[in-house]
Amino acid sequence: MDVTTAALDRATARVRAFDGAETRELHGEGLHDAIVAACGVLSEARRLAAPIAAAVARDAGGQGLRGGITRQAGHRSPEYFIASLLGGTVAEARTLIGAGLAMDPDEPEDPDDPDDPDEGGAGDGGGGEDDPDSPDPDPKPARPKPRPPVPGSLAEALGNGTIAVDAAALVRATLAELLDVVDRATLWEIEKRLVAKAARLSLYDLRKACWRERATADPAGWREREKRIRARRTLTLGEDAEGMVTLTARLDPLSAAPLRAWLDAQTTEAFRSARDAGVTEQRSAAQIRVDALAALASHGLDCESPASGVKTTLMVTIDRDALTGELGLASCDGIGVPVTPATARQLAVDAEILPAVCGGESEVLDLGRARRLFTRAQRRALSLRDGGCAWCSAPISWTETHHIAHWGRDDGCTDLCNGVLLCRSCHLRLHDTGWEVEIHGGVVWFRPPASVDPQRVAILGGRRRTAPEEMPAPPPLPTSPSTRRCSGNHVRT
């Protein structure tokens, strides 16, 4: 593909407006504009370098190989060569190469393409044999000039700046995993979905969406993947130079889910207890986890003592039919990767099984204004909808149940349509920064203030972001009070 610096030139022009500015004197809108412009230059520079990095990999004979200028420069692979130039990691170089291959893919030309000249056609009359200035009679065939990217494709989105380099590399890796698993039409639909999500999701949430697509499209392969990563689980104990014991672990989801849920619960409870008592918790979250793990081990040495720590519930969400069969997927609180029904059944062996469809005849989920606090059943229902913090995707155990319209000040109701799960940080951010929460068709949206986005386009929240399906269009900005069920900022349609 052709190298073009137009986008980088535009980004450089924007940051040039701050040439000579003293960074310590930048504040408010000026500081915001400066960091946006500076990061824009970095983003466009990486986008420019990506296809060139892919060309270096091709020159070496492929990723991980050693040939061409990579060998001449004395490096073991193009990844190491590019990492040395960046002053970064091999992983960063691999991401750059992957994005470049997404922008300029190695795809064979369609033999039925009418624009593909036939052998001996125009411009190929064989006159070269009589030309005394003709070069090598058997030249290396030139790489065909690539076609323009297909609308909606990964190459188009990365080329026009809709998505970032890291997101493109992640989507390309996901599509490569499914290349030999699904047919071309299905792969194209997955590509379009992931490209649309890549433009609107954080890299963290996009990775979860990619996992979901892989697990849904190839359930047999996902089961084998679970077996492989479980076989690689490790935990080692060591000792550093100061005599501190080091603990290093890599845990599969089955092993990590109950441990993470328990540690998160102890951390949350410690901070909540300190806050309720009007004191400051002196320990960091990392120190609380150490104390909780040590207490758990002490309890294990003396099982006749009272249980250690606060009671913890592990939320595993799965369809009833999937729980008894092999098709379908489950999700587990605190674990971003989807799990197979077999793993879900193992997690459920020693746990309370909570029904995936909450709100039967025995559980009333809409309480109106009869009660201020959300019930445990309501919180479970919100957990199924939001999947954790609906804004930042923090685990369910980190979250608090927030009334969108305040129960006392705004006469808000204690119903699911007026509740959302938020971690402590996002809860405070919502109150302090002018963002609003809206519920449309059971889907959570976050509406930014005009200072962040003059158009105030809503941003999708909750579990719906990573589902293996099309992302819904943002709801329009409410213009009439009739669309509001409660006073305040709670919008319901």
3-state SS class at 482? helix
- Per DSSP, 337 falls in state E
How far apart, in whole angstroms, are the C-alpha atoms of residue 331 and residue 2? Answer: 44
| Furthest-apart CA atoms within the chain: distance in Å | 98
How far apart, in whole angstroms, are the C-alpha atoms of residue 118 and residue 478? Answer: 58
User: Mind listing the pLDDT tens digit of every residue in the chain (493 residues)?
Assistant: 788 899 999 999 999 999 999 999 999 889 999 999 999 999 999 999 999 999 999 998 866 666 789 988 889 899 999 999 999 999 999 999 999 999 888 754 343 444 444 443 344 444 444 444 444 545 545 555 556 788 889 999 998 899 999 999 999 999 999 999 999 999 999 999 999 999 999 999 999 999 999 999 998 899 899 999 999 999 999 988 998 999 999 999 888 888 888 888 888 888 888 888 888 889 999 999 999 888 888 766 665 544 545 555 667 777 766 666 666 787 777 677 888 877 777 766 555 544 443 344 434 444 444 455 778 778 888 888 888 899 988 888 778 888 887 765 666 777 788 889 998 888 888 878 888 999 888 889 999 988 888 899 999 998 888 888 888 899 998 775 444 444 334 555 5
pLDDT score for 339: 82
Angle 320-326-327 from CA coordinates, rounded to 5°? 75
- Per DSSP, 476 falls in state P
3-state SS class at 178? helix
Task: Return all residues near 325 (Cβ < 8 A) that are at least 6 apart.
Answer: 341
Tens of pLDDT along 406-424? 765 666 777 788 889 998 8
Query: Residue 240 carries which side chain, given as an amino acid letter?
Result: D
Residues 382, 416: contact at Cβ < 8 Å?
A: yes
How far apart, in whole angstroms, are the C-alpha atoms of residue 412 and residue 127? Answer: 84
pLDDT score for 144: 55
| Strand-pair category, 316-318 with 330-332 | antiparallel
| Strand-pair category, 459-460 with 491-492 | unpaired
Task: Return all residues near 357 (Cβ < 8 A) that are at least 6 apart.
Answer: 320
How far apart, in whole angstroms, are the C-alpha atoms of residue 417 and residue 441? Answer: 9
Burial of 56 (0-12, 13-18, 19+ CB in 10 A): buried
- Token pair 């951390």 is found at 267
- Per DSSP, 420 falls in state E
pLDDT score for 40: 94
pLDDT score for 109: 38
Record the pTM. Answer: 0.73
Residues 193, 469: contact at Cβ < 8 Å?
A: yes
Query: Residue 302 carries which side chain, given as an amino acid letter?
Result: D
DSSP states of 66-107: --HHHHHTT-SSHHHHHHHHHTS-HHHHHHHHHHHHHHS---
3-state SS class at 220? helix
The structure tokens listed for 255 are 């092993």
Using alpha carbons, select from 423, 464, 430, 465 the residue that is nearest to residue 449: 430
Tens of pLDDT along 159-213? 889 999 999 999 999 999 999 999 999 999 999 999 999 999 999 999 999 999 9
**Alpha-helical segments (H) within 387-490:** 424-433
Query: Residue 421 carries which side chain, given as an amino acid letter?
Result: L
pLDDT score for 203: 93
| Strand-pair category, 330-332 with 335-339 | antiparallel
* Phi/psi at 332 (5° precision): -130, 135
Task: Return all residues near 11 (Cβ < 8 A) that are at least 6 apart.
Answer: 37, 40, 41, 43, 44
Neighbours of 140 (CB within 10 A): 6
The structure tokens listed for 173 are 């890796």
The structure tokens listed for 332 are 């587990």
Residues 465, 201: contact at Cβ < 8 Å?
A: yes
